[in-house]
Amino acid sequence: MIVHHVPIIIKWLFPKFTWNRDRQKSNIYLTFDDGPVPGVTDFVLDELAKHHMKATFFCVGDNVRKHPGLAKRIIEEGHQIGNHTYSHLNGSKTENGAYIANVAKCSDMIYEVTKTHPRLFRPPYGRINAKQAGLLSKEFELVMWDVLSGDYDQRQLPETCLRKTKKHTKNGAIILFHDQQKTAGIIRKVLPTYLKFVQQKGYQAELL
């Protein structure tokens, strides 16, 4: 079962993480994990450009290495890149030293390709232990999410993904989509309509 909206108790239990921004402002924050991936990230960028919206892409370092042109395009079009580890590691299953080194390797690759230093970090799968979080919080803002689209779940109909994401979108929401091959089909069906919804409701899609 997909939990499309993070319960308030989880946010209280883990206050070191950023779950949402200011609820008093009509801004939302679109985020895309796991890219850059050809055929998906470029589609997302095209749709964002059509609607004059900005987003944050939490990139896997190895994908930045494989697709530098797409990573550069993200920055050139006014979006931002966050660190999502080099190898999409699960923090709860990775030794601390290896995990921190993998994060550093991702930052190095992002800088090598885009000449920008990522200041945001999102742990793959949302899995990270307290020691890792403590170490990384010295360098990064640790960003989770407020609304999970569930676009990665092949069992979920695109209509359900869209309806649930729209339902939980509100001021300050950090919304999580994925620009990866697994989500290529569903994001093409969901994202254009969702971005129109965002405009119709008067939200501004801003950088984190």
- Asked if 99 and 130 count as a contact pair (C-beta separation under 8 A), the reply is no
- Our CA angle for 111, 115, 120, nearest 5°, is 55
Distance, CA of 59 to CA of 36 (rounded, Å)? 6
| 79, 151, 178, 179: the active-site residue | 178
Q: Is 131 helix (H, G, I), strand (E, B) or coil?
A: helix
Q: Dihedral angle at the C-alpha atoms of 181, 185, 186, 187, nearest 10 degrees?
A: 70
- Asked if 9 and 153 count as a contact pair (C-beta separation under 8 A), the reply is no
| 4, 33, 67, 146: the active-site residue | 33
Q: At what angle do helices 41-50 and 184-200 cross, to 10 degrees?
A: 20
Catalytic residue list contains 34: no
Catalytic residue list contains 79: no
Distance, CA of 133 to CA of 129 (rounded, Å)? 6
Q: Is 125 helix (H, G, I), strand (E, B) or coil?
A: helix
Distance, CA of 93 to CA of 85 (rounded, Å)? 14
Q: Which positions are catalytic? A: 33, 178
